[in-house]
Amino acid sequence: MNAKQEDANLILRLYELRRDESMRRARAWFIGEFNPEKMDDIMAALVGKHSADFRMVASYWDMAAAFVNFGAIDEEMFNDINTEHVAIYARLEPFLAELRAIPGAPPYLYLKNLAPLVERLPDSEARIAAMRRFMKRRAEAEQK
């Protein structure tokens, strides 16, 4: 098996993990229902009934990004196949400095793999902005 086939197999394995019922539910909540406007919204999620959902989604995408950052998965292939990691980053990026400053947490660790992966995209700012617009329209449509 060549390197590209191994990368593809790892991406397929990541996809299989995303199909788990609890992960599907967590992802649906994170992308569809969770629309934080201030850090208090983030903190409420972290200590509320969706704490596990929040942590599952954020840690999953940070883990997947680590595979890319450490060379286990080809970055171009990963970014061409996935967009959800950009959505997760777009949702959390406005709060990243505050999340990293939570007492007791190493300040540099939160999304330490996801942030640089998304930020390395050649059109990262445009993609993040487009993802925010998409998620906003989706949330508005679901409220109707």
**Per-residue pLDDT tens digits for 37-76:** 999 999 999 899 999 999 999 999 999 999 999 999 999 9
Question: Which tokens hold the place of 16?
Answer: 């299989």
Q: Is the pLDDT of residue 106 over 80?
A: no
- Residue 90 and residue 139 in contact, taking contact as beta carbons nearer than 8 Å: no
pLDDT for 6 equals 86
pLDDT value of residue 105: 67
pTM recorded for the entire structure: 0.90
CA distance 144 to 47: 28
Q: Where are the domains of the chain?
A: 3-143
Whether 48 and 29 have beta carbons less than 8 Å apart is answered as no
Tens of pLDDT along 121-141?
A: 999 999 999 999 998 888 778
Count of helices and strands (H, E) across the chain: 9, 0
On whether the CB atoms of residues 54 and 34 are closer than 8 A, the answer is: yes
